[in-house]
Amino acid sequence: MNSTAITPNTLRPEEVVELVFLACLVVVIIFGNVMVCLAFATVGDRLKTITNYFVINLATSDILVGVFSVPFWIWVRAGDLQLNSKAYYVFIAFDILSGTMSILNLTVISLERMYAVRFPAKHRNIQRQKWPIHTALGLTWCISLIMAGTYYIKVFYRWHYYTVMVVSLAFGFPTTVIIGSYIVIFSTARKHVMKRKRLQKEIKLAVMIGIVIILFLLCWSPFFLMNVLLEYCPCKKMISTKFIPLVKFLHYSNSMMNPCVYAYRNSDFRSAFKKLLCRWFPCDYKGRRDRTSSFRSIGSQNSELAEDDSEGKYTYETKLKTRLNSLEPNQNRILFQELNGVHENGSATPVQQDNGLLLHQDSNGDAVGILRQINPPKPGKKKQLSFVFVSTV
C-alpha cells in the first residue's frame, strides 16, 4: 500500500503539489488538535466530561498522525525513504497505531454515549468515580500498541492473513459495535420522545460524535478496502497506483476534520477556541457569548436538577446556586430567582433603571446584561422582586 515512492530528483509538477498539500495538512492537523487539547486543559471545567476525555485521547492520536505518519509519508513520496528499511517499518507501525487508536476511541465514545442515554443515573456515578474512564483510556492505548506491534510478525514471519486480521479487528468489529450503539441510542430517544432535557443534551452530543464517526468511516473505508484488494484480490494489477496517494491523503485528512466538527457543533469547544485565540492574538472577544449562553441556560439547567430531585433534596435557590457555581470563575455571576424570589447579586452590581429594567455592571463598571422586572413589589410588604434575563449589553 505504501510502495509508491517517487524516484529522487524526478519530481513532476503534480507530485510537488501533492507534497505541498501534505505539508499544509501537517500544520493544520497539529494546530487543530493541539487547540482541542489546550481547550480541555486550560479553559475551565465545562469541557471535563466523560466524553471529552476520550475526545482528547482521539486528538492525541491525531497529533501522532501530524507529527509522525504524514511526515513519514512525505518522506516516502519524495523518494528519500527506502522501502523495507527500519524507518519504513516504524512508519507503518505508527500508521497502524494512530488508526487503531482513532477507531477504538470512537468505539468507546459510542458505548459511553449509549450508556449515558440508556442509564443516565449510573452514567453520572461513573463520572464521579473516574477509574472506569482511566481504565478505558489505558485499554485503548494497550490494544493499539499490540496491534502496531503485530506488524513486525508479518514482516519477519510473512504472515499471509495479517491484513485481513487487522482489517477485521481494527475496523470491522469496532464499526459493528459503533452501529449497534447508535441503534440503541436512537431507539431509546424515540421511546422517550425526547421528553427530558438531559436526554436532549445527551442526544445532541451523540449526534456530534456521530458526525465524527461518519467522517472517519468515509475517510478510512477506502484505505482498508484497498489494502485487502492489494493483498488478496487477483484484480490488484488493475488498481492504478495513482489511487494510492489519493486514498492515503483522504485518511490522513480525517485527522484535521474533528476539531472543525467540535467548533461547529459544540458551543463549549467553540467558546474555548475563541478564548485561546484571543490569548494569542488581540481581539475584541470577551466571552459575551459565554455569558449569554450561561444566563439563558439557567432555567433549563434548573429543570434538569428538578428532574433528579425525586426526594426533594434541593430548594429552588440551592438549585440555582448549584448552576451558578458551575460557571467559570471569570464569568459574571448573577444570582436571582425567577419566581417570587428576592433578587441577589454575586459579582455583578445591579443598577435600577426608570423603565423597570436592571442594568448589571461588573466590578469595572462595564455593562454586563439586562434583567426585566416581571412583577412589582406588593405595597406594605418587604420588597420582593422577580426578574427574567433579557439580553447582554
Q: H-helix or E-strand containing 387? A: strand 386-392
DSSP state, residue 386: E
By CB atoms closer than 10 A (0-12, 13-18, 19+), residue 314 is middle
For the cut 60, the answer to whether the pLDDT of residue 27 exceeds it is yes
**Listed range (163-172, 183-192, 265-274) with the worst mean pLDDT:** 183-192
For the cut 60, the answer to whether the pLDDT of residue 95 exceeds it is yes
What φ, ψ does residue 128 adopt, rounded to 5°?
-75, -35
- Given pLDDT bands bounded at 50, 70 and 90, which one contains residue 299? very low
- What average pLDDT does this structure show over 72-93? 81
> Which pLDDT score, from 0 to 100, does residue 344 have?
40
Q: Which three cell numbers stand for residue 174?
A: 469496532
Taking only the tens place, the pLDDT of each residue in 163-184 is 888 889 889 999 999 999 999 8
Q: Which part of the chain is CATH 1.20.1070.10?
A: 13-280
- What average pLDDT does this structure show over 245-249? 89
DSSP string covering 317-381: HHHHHHHHHTS-TTSPP----SSS-----SSSEEEE-TTSEEEEE-TTS-EEEEEEEEEPPPTTS
If you search the block for the grid coordinates 481504565, which residue do you land on? 135
Taking only the tens place, the pLDDT of each residue in 44-74 is 677 888 888 999 999 999 999 999 999 989 9
Give the CA count within 13 Å in the CB-facing half-sphere of 387. Answer: 25
Regarding pTM above 0.75, the answer is no
- The angle formed by the CA atoms of residues 56, 61 and 62, to the nearest 5 degrees, is 90
For the cut 50, the answer to whether the pLDDT of residue 363 exceeds it is no
Computed over every residue of the chain, the mean pLDDT equals: 72
Q: What CATH architecture is 13-280? A: Up-down Bundle (1.20)
Q: Are the C-beta atoms of 376 and 326 separated by less than 8 Å?
A: no
For the cut 80, the answer to whether the pLDDT of residue 390 exceeds it is no
For the cut 80, the answer to whether the pLDDT of residue 370 exceeds it is no
